[in-house]
Protein backbone atom coordinates (compact mmCIF):
# COMPACT_ATOMS: atom_id res chain seq x y z
CA UNK A 1 0.00 0.00 0.00
CA UNK A 2 2.86 2.39 0.81
CA UNK A 3 4.47 1.69 -2.58
CA UNK A 4 1.16 2.33 -4.33
CA UNK A 5 0.65 5.57 -2.41
CA UNK A 6 4.09 6.75 -3.57
CA UNK A 7 3.18 6.03 -7.19
CA UNK A 8 -0.09 7.96 -7.04
CA UNK A 9 0.11 11.41 -8.62
CA UNK A 10 0.23 14.31 -6.22
CA UNK A 11 -3.16 15.64 -7.29
CA UNK A 12 -4.74 12.27 -8.09
CA UNK A 13 -7.62 12.69 -5.66
CA UNK A 14 -8.38 16.23 -6.83
CA UNK A 15 -8.50 15.05 -10.45
CA UNK A 16 -10.69 12.11 -9.48
CA UNK A 17 -13.07 14.44 -7.67
CA UNK A 18 -13.27 16.75 -10.72
CA UNK A 19 -14.19 13.76 -12.93
CA UNK A 20 -12.94 15.21 -16.20
CA UNK A 21 -10.15 14.41 -18.63
CA UNK A 22 -6.95 15.78 -17.12
CA UNK A 23 -5.20 16.40 -20.44
CA UNK A 24 -4.25 20.08 -20.87
CA UNK A 25 -5.76 20.26 -24.35
CA UNK A 26 -9.06 18.94 -22.98
CA UNK A 27 -8.98 21.55 -20.23
CA UNK A 28 -8.55 24.30 -22.82
CA UNK A 29 -11.51 22.95 -24.77
CA UNK A 30 -13.73 22.63 -21.67
CA UNK A 31 -13.01 26.26 -20.79
CA UNK A 32 -13.37 27.45 -24.41
CA UNK A 33 -9.97 29.18 -24.16
CA UNK A 34 -9.60 29.85 -27.86
CA UNK A 35 -6.40 31.95 -27.77
CA UNK A 36 -4.52 29.43 -25.65
CA UNK A 37 -5.97 26.56 -27.70
CA UNK A 38 -4.64 28.11 -30.93
CA UNK A 39 -1.25 28.82 -29.38
CA UNK A 40 -0.98 25.31 -27.90
CA UNK A 41 -1.97 23.45 -31.07
CA UNK A 42 0.21 25.60 -33.34
CA UNK A 43 3.25 25.38 -31.04
CA UNK A 44 3.04 21.61 -31.04
CA UNK A 45 1.98 21.42 -34.68
CA UNK A 46 -1.04 19.31 -33.68
CA UNK A 47 -3.54 18.21 -36.28
CA UNK A 48 -7.02 19.41 -35.45
CA UNK A 49 -8.33 16.03 -36.57
CA UNK A 50 -6.69 14.11 -33.72
CA UNK A 51 -8.68 12.29 -31.09
CA UNK A 52 -8.49 13.22 -27.44
CA UNK A 53 -6.38 11.11 -25.12
CA UNK A 54 -8.32 8.81 -22.85
CA UNK A 55 -8.23 9.56 -19.15
CA UNK A 56 -8.92 7.47 -16.08
CA UNK A 57 -10.46 10.57 -14.52
CA UNK A 58 -13.25 10.96 -17.08
CA UNK A 59 -16.62 10.05 -15.60
CA UNK A 60 -19.20 10.78 -18.30
CA UNK A 61 -20.28 7.52 -19.92
CA UNK A 62 -20.65 9.09 -23.36
CA UNK A 63 -16.98 10.07 -23.23
CA UNK A 64 -15.73 6.84 -21.68
CA UNK A 65 -17.58 4.42 -23.96
CA UNK A 66 -16.10 5.72 -27.21
CA UNK A 67 -12.39 5.34 -27.95
CA UNK A 68 -11.97 7.84 -30.77
CA UNK A 69 -13.54 11.15 -29.77
CA UNK A 70 -12.34 13.94 -32.01
CA UNK A 71 -11.45 17.41 -30.78
CA UNK A 72 -14.55 18.87 -32.44
CA UNK A 73 -16.82 16.26 -30.79
CA UNK A 74 -15.24 16.95 -27.40
CA UNK A 75 -15.70 20.69 -27.96
CA UNK A 76 -19.34 20.01 -28.87
CA UNK A 77 -19.84 18.11 -25.62
CA UNK A 78 -18.72 21.18 -23.68
CA UNK A 79 -20.39 23.76 -25.94
CA UNK A 80 -17.06 25.39 -26.79
CA UNK A 81 -18.39 27.35 -29.75
CA UNK A 82 -15.28 29.45 -30.37
CA UNK A 83 -13.09 26.37 -30.59
CA UNK A 84 -15.58 24.56 -32.84
CA UNK A 85 -15.70 27.51 -35.23
CA UNK A 86 -11.90 27.72 -35.28
CA UNK A 87 -11.51 23.98 -35.95
CA UNK A 88 -14.09 24.14 -38.74
CA UNK A 89 -12.41 27.22 -40.23
CA UNK A 90 -9.18 25.20 -40.35
CA UNK A 91 -10.85 22.57 -42.54
CA UNK A 92 -12.26 19.99 -40.13
CA UNK A 93 -15.70 18.85 -41.25
CA UNK A 94 -18.76 19.19 -39.05
CA UNK A 95 -20.22 15.70 -38.60
CA UNK A 96 -23.56 14.26 -37.64
CA UNK A 97 -22.00 12.73 -34.51
CA UNK A 98 -21.63 16.26 -33.14
CA UNK A 99 -25.40 16.36 -32.53
CA UNK A 100 -25.29 13.89 -29.64
CA UNK A 101 -22.39 15.74 -28.02
CA UNK A 102 -24.08 19.11 -28.59
CA UNK A 103 -27.20 17.87 -26.80
CA UNK A 104 -25.09 17.24 -23.71
CA UNK A 105 -23.79 20.80 -23.78
CA UNK A 106 -27.38 22.14 -23.71
CA UNK A 107 -26.02 24.99 -25.81
CA UNK A 108 -28.79 26.44 -27.98
CA UNK A 109 -26.27 28.47 -29.99
CA UNK A 110 -24.41 25.30 -30.92
CA UNK A 111 -27.63 23.51 -31.91
CA UNK A 112 -28.45 26.48 -34.12
CA UNK A 113 -24.93 26.45 -35.58
CA UNK A 114 -25.33 22.81 -36.60
CA UNK A 115 -28.70 23.64 -38.15
CA UNK A 116 -27.39 26.69 -40.00
CA UNK A 117 -24.52 24.65 -41.42
CA UNK A 118 -26.94 21.91 -42.57
CA UNK A 119 -25.25 19.21 -40.52
CA UNK A 120 -27.53 16.17 -40.80
CA UNK A 121 -28.58 14.32 -37.66
CA UNK A 122 -27.31 10.78 -37.07
CA UNK A 123 -28.68 8.03 -39.30
CA UNK A 124 -31.89 7.52 -37.35
CA UNK A 125 -32.80 11.19 -37.64
CA UNK A 126 -33.87 13.57 -34.96
CA UNK A 127 -35.53 10.90 -32.86
CA UNK A 128 -32.15 9.77 -31.50
CA UNK A 129 -31.31 13.40 -30.73
CA UNK A 130 -34.66 13.81 -29.01
CA UNK A 131 -34.10 10.68 -26.94
CA UNK A 132 -30.71 11.98 -25.80
CA UNK A 133 -32.11 15.39 -24.85
CA UNK A 134 -34.89 13.79 -22.79
CA UNK A 135 -32.34 11.50 -21.15
CA UNK A 136 -30.23 14.54 -20.21
CA UNK A 137 -33.30 16.41 -18.92
CA UNK A 138 -32.60 19.25 -21.34
CA UNK A 139 -36.30 19.89 -21.79
CA UNK A 140 -36.01 23.21 -23.62
CA UNK A 141 -33.81 21.50 -26.21
CA UNK A 142 -36.26 18.57 -26.36
CA UNK A 143 -39.19 20.87 -26.99
CA UNK A 144 -37.20 22.77 -29.62
CA UNK A 145 -36.43 19.50 -31.42
CA UNK A 146 -40.09 18.44 -31.34
CA UNK A 147 -41.39 21.84 -32.44
CA UNK A 148 -38.74 22.84 -34.98
CA UNK A 149 -36.50 20.03 -36.15
CA UNK A 150 -38.85 17.12 -36.47
CA UNK A 151 -40.74 18.29 -39.53
CA UNK A 152 -44.14 17.07 -40.60
CA UNK A 153 -42.67 14.18 -42.60
CA UNK A 154 -40.69 13.01 -39.54
CA UNK A 155 -43.85 13.20 -37.42
CA UNK A 156 -45.76 11.12 -39.97
CA UNK A 157 -42.98 8.51 -40.10
CA UNK A 158 -42.69 8.48 -36.32
CA UNK A 159 -46.44 8.14 -35.82
CA UNK A 160 -46.18 4.97 -37.85
CA UNK A 161 -43.26 3.95 -35.63
CA UNK A 162 -45.20 4.62 -32.42
CA UNK A 163 -43.74 8.12 -31.92
CA UNK A 164 -45.81 8.82 -28.79
CA UNK A 165 -44.98 5.45 -27.25
CA UNK A 166 -41.29 6.09 -27.84
CA UNK A 167 -41.49 9.61 -26.43
CA UNK A 168 -43.14 8.37 -23.26
CA UNK A 169 -40.76 5.42 -23.04
CA UNK A 170 -37.80 7.84 -23.15
CA UNK A 171 -39.44 9.89 -20.41
CA UNK A 172 -40.02 6.90 -18.16
CA UNK A 173 -36.58 5.37 -18.74
CA UNK A 174 -34.90 8.71 -18.02
CA UNK A 175 -37.16 9.68 -15.11
CA UNK A 176 -37.95 12.86 -17.02
CA UNK A 177 -41.58 13.25 -16.10
CA UNK A 178 -42.04 16.50 -18.01
CA UNK A 179 -42.80 14.25 -20.97
CA UNK A 180 -44.99 11.86 -19.03
CA UNK A 181 -48.40 11.47 -20.66
CA UNK A 182 -51.25 13.57 -19.36
CA UNK A 183 -53.65 10.82 -20.36
CA UNK A 184 -53.10 7.17 -19.77
CA UNK A 185 -54.12 5.83 -23.15
CA UNK A 186 -50.50 4.70 -23.60
CA UNK A 187 -50.68 2.01 -20.92
CA UNK A 188 -48.46 -0.35 -22.90
CA UNK A 189 -45.40 1.75 -22.03
CA UNK A 190 -45.38 0.15 -18.61
pTM over 0.85: no
d(CA 16, CA 58): 8
6 falls in which pLDDT band (50, 70, 90)?
low
Mean pLDDT, the chain, rounded, equals: 83
Could you report the per-residue pLDDT of 54-71, keeping only the tens digit for each? 888 887 888 888 889 999
Higher pLDDT, 128 or 76: 76
Residue 164 above 90 pLDDT?
Answer: no
- Note the pLDDT of residue 81: 95
Gap between the Cα atoms of 86 and 30, Å rounded? 15
Q: Does pLDDT of 175 surpass 80?
A: yes
The mean-pLDDT minimum among 15-19, 46-50, 172-176 falls in 15-19
Contacts of 114 (CB under 8 A, 6+ apart): 94, 98, 99, 102
Listing DSSP states for the chain in one string gives -HHHHHHS-TTHHHHHHHTS---HHHHHHHTT-HHHHHHHHHHTT--TTPBPPP-TT---HHHHH-S--BHHHHHHHTT-HHHHHHHHHTTPPP-TTHHHHHHHHT-HHHHHHHHHTTPPPPTTTHHHHHHHHHHTT-HHHHHHIIIIIS-HHHHHHHHHTTHHHHHHHHHHHTT-GGGS-SS---GGG-
Can you tell me whether residue 147 is helix, strand or coil? helix
CA distance 18 to 136: 20
pLDDT bin (cut points 50, 70, 90) of residue 124 is low
Read off the pLDDT band of 110 (50, 70, 90).
very high
Amino acid sequence: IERMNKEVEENFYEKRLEGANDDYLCELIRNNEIKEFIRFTEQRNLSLEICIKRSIFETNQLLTDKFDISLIEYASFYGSNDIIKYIEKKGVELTSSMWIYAIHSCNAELIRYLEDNHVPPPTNGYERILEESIKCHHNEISNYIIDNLMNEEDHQNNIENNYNDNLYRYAVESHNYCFFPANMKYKNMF
